[in-house]
Structure 1
């Protein structure tokens, strides 16, 4: 059975737009007609489920649904329902406004330290919760792409390869089979050893390193073997050598989390406690500095912020902040994404268009933010049924993106995948 927008699963969940496809699964933006709310639905495509690996993957899919449905934590995506519709297995989840932290980092390579500390503390709290359950859960695929924003909060998603550490459960992978993303995986994970909570601690450390330094220290481009070698044997340079605006305790903590020896890594509970304390200290310092500088946060104008710039004028008088078009446009895009997720497609299209106008008025019409906003308009158009005009807009957007971006850029690949889904 091929799923498509307009169909209703279980006579209740109306599919609105396909927002993801990969491997065996698809993710749709949908509408719960029973409770009148927007939701996300993850499905297992029946055409691929019939292949040789289908039964094993169905078992894994059911396991993901069961694991996720049992979790209750503010930093973990909530599962509402699960079922099977005409041979298609599905899980109904809360719809997050997004984007994920991987996308955020692509847009703004270097993120403010205080912002990352907020994300880090929330993610660590989620991992602490997973490891503290009566039957501990190891996520096994912690990476920026699986940490999704929702109105400023971070939520951990995608438990497709999670391991429940209960003796009566059979391991879903065989020895030597890698499950997870290599550049964020623990050394013993890439060797195919038995899952352990220490895997997640290592991965979380690598995620934090990546968010602060601008990328995973183990990334070796297309050379997967080199990435695997770096994970197992190469010690990254201290995080403090990349950033001078981070808490003094953070660099040694991340180094301990990324220790090659699993038994030397701190437990998730300790990590969560330390990160929360550092976050609170940074927030207190910023609040104190803001009061002293008449409302300007510490570090304003340092090159790491993305909001409004400001300064101190003659005689110590604070100069009026000058609106940053990119920050204003980015806020418009975030607002538009929330409207799109809520089914308000015309309003979302309007806000995406306003973001484009802001950038063009500042003579920045070729910036990446403009491409992102234009892609939002394409998705809003498809969502409200304006397929013909949206297809033309998508073709023009792809041509523009290919003219200004590197062919290997993730955004271009996203556009190509989006086109392929609508053929």
Structure 2
């Protein structure tokens, strides 16, 4: 697979996001609805032949399990299909940062921030458990924090239905599903797995957010599982002194060896966590650090300048123009954004006037797409930068007018009650209305 490939006669692949043992995740665009998506593939030929049927069932199970959860903390499922010999799942593209990477960058998260993330995950688990679903593989690698500070739970692919009439207990031959560092003792032993296993995994994640590492560490998976089964429960207060006693006690209970000794439900855990979410460490802090990075059901890219930046940039502008002519405005704006950021100063970059022209194209495209919130921010930033440069004041004034138009479209009516929309900035060579 490569960028530009079309899937299902509708989705265009843009760049790879991640790769696992049996599949790939790509960022893409839905050509019909002009929106970014994540496309997750199960590469059947990379699955051992005797496991293909089971893997296919698990993949379809993920689609059904995720689609039935109508919750802001779960990526929306858009489509499921077959491409050649591969299965694919089309999902919401989640911008942000993987929690595992965030922990690696920060080492230990502030108490309020860690608790806020854990409480949001509890909200997702409430919905999942109410729908008779157990995730069974919660870990920092399966959690995303968006720029808005929303925690998203990914990969319900190993979710087990609690309803005995439906449960098929799909497992890979000879394996225990789950990740050793976060696996509940009963799951490590191959016993029945219920909601309490997800709460145990959440306890491991919360411990790692606060302590900088999982509760148990070992050189290999079997030794790690033995530690979950037999090692004393670690005390978070021994690793940092600013964790409130009641929160430390809750974390200790989440890590109980016996499922019956853990809190009764995800809802109860969420209620017990809420008092420790404070205004200084709420998700906005995470959002600021996450910026515009994204992954997976989810996408993260590194801006690597091409060998011939200017030629590649010109090709990107031509591609964006073609997309705009086909009314794929959001995708055209993203193409220009990536091209703009790919040019490094060491290679000369863009002239200030040319960069301003591209930024104006992006703002216009967002407005044409009806994304007035993003367009407003783009026009406001342009007006501010034009004012600071001291030139093109007419253009700066038009950008400020477009800010008002966007605010009107968003329902933010001004003091005079109405803003007369003007044609989008019409300059030669730009994506504009005439």
User: Which string of whole-angstrom CA distances, capped at 9 and with x for unpartnered residues, describes residues 359-410 of structure 1?
Assistant: xxxxxxxxxxxxxxxxxxxxxxxxxxxxxxxxxxxxxxxxxxxxxxxxxxxx
User: Which string of whole-angstrom CA distances, capped at 9 and with x for unpartnered residues, describes residues 292-326 of structure 1?
Assistant: xxxxx99xxxxxxx98xxxxxxxxxxxxxxxxxxx
Contact kept in structure 2, 1:30 and 1:41, CA below 8 Å: yes
Deviation, structure 1 residue 248: 2.8
Distance in structure 2 (CA, Å) of the matches to 1:332 and 1:255:
29
Change (3 A) 1:264 1:340: closer
Distance in structure 2 (CA, Å) of the matches to 1:195 and 1:340:
33
What is the number of residues matched between the two proteins? 310
- SS of the residue corresponding to residue 52 of structure 1 reads helix
Confirm whether residue 149 of structure 1 aligns to residue 145 of structure 2: yes
Give the greater-gyration-radius structure (CA): 2
Change (3 A) 1:340 1:248: closer
- SS of the residue corresponding to residue 49 of structure 2 reads coil
Runs of at least 5 residues in structure 2 that lack an aligned partner in the other structure: 302-329, 347-434
Deviation, structure 1 residue 108: 1.4
> 1:110 maps to which residue?
108
Confirm whether residue 238 of structure 1 aligns to residue 235 of structure 2: yes
How does 1:105-184 map onto structure 2 within 5 Å? 105-133=103-131, 136-151=132-147, 152-168=149-165, 169-173=167-171, 177-184=175-182
Distance in structure 1 (CA, Å) of the matches to 2:150 and 2:343:
26
Change (3 A) 1:348 1:275: farther
How does 1:404-415 map onto structure 2 within 5 Å? none
Contact kept in structure 1, 2:95 and 2:292, CA below 8 Å: no
Confirm whether residue 335 of structure 1 aligns to residue 292 of structure 2: yes
Deviation, structure 1 residue 243: 2.3
Distance in structure 1 (CA, Å) of the matches to 2:159 and 2:345:
39
Higher relative contact order (CA 8 A, sep 6+): 2
Contact kept in structure 2, 1:176 and 1:193, CA below 8 Å: no
- SS of the residue corresponding to residue 97 of structure 1 reads coil
> 2:337 maps to which residue?
347
Runs of at least 5 residues in structure 1 that lack an aligned partner in the other structure: 287-296, 299-305, 308-326, 357-423
Distance in structure 1 (CA, Å) of the matches to 2:272 and 2:36:
36
Change (3 A) 1:110 1:181: same
- SS of the residue corresponding to residue 119 of structure 2 reads helix
Contact kept in structure 1, 2:30 and 2:37, CA below 8 Å: yes
Q: TM-score, normalising length from structure 1?
A: 0.67
Aligned with residue 225 of structure 2, among 208, 220, 228: 228
Contact kept in structure 2, 1:177 and 1:192, CA below 8 Å: no
Q: TM-score, normalising length from structure 2?
A: 0.66
Deviation, structure 1 residue 86: 2.6
How does 1:3-402 map onto structure 2 within 5 Å? 3-49=1-47, 51-133=49-131, 136-151=132-147, 152-168=149-165, 169-173=167-171, 177-220=175-218, 222-266=219-263, 267-279=265-277, 282-283=278-279, 286=280, 334-335=291-292, 344-348=334-338
Deviation, structure 1 residue 278: 2.3
- SS of the residue corresponding to residue 335 of structure 1 reads coil
Distance in structure 2 (CA, Å) of the matches to 1:274 and 1:333:
27
Of 225-234 and 81-90, more deviation after overlay is shown by 81-90
Contact kept in structure 1, 2:45 and 2:85, CA below 8 Å: no
- SS of the residue corresponding to residue 292 of structure 2 reads helix
Change (3 A) 1:337 1:67: closer
Deviation, structure 1 residue 14: 0.6
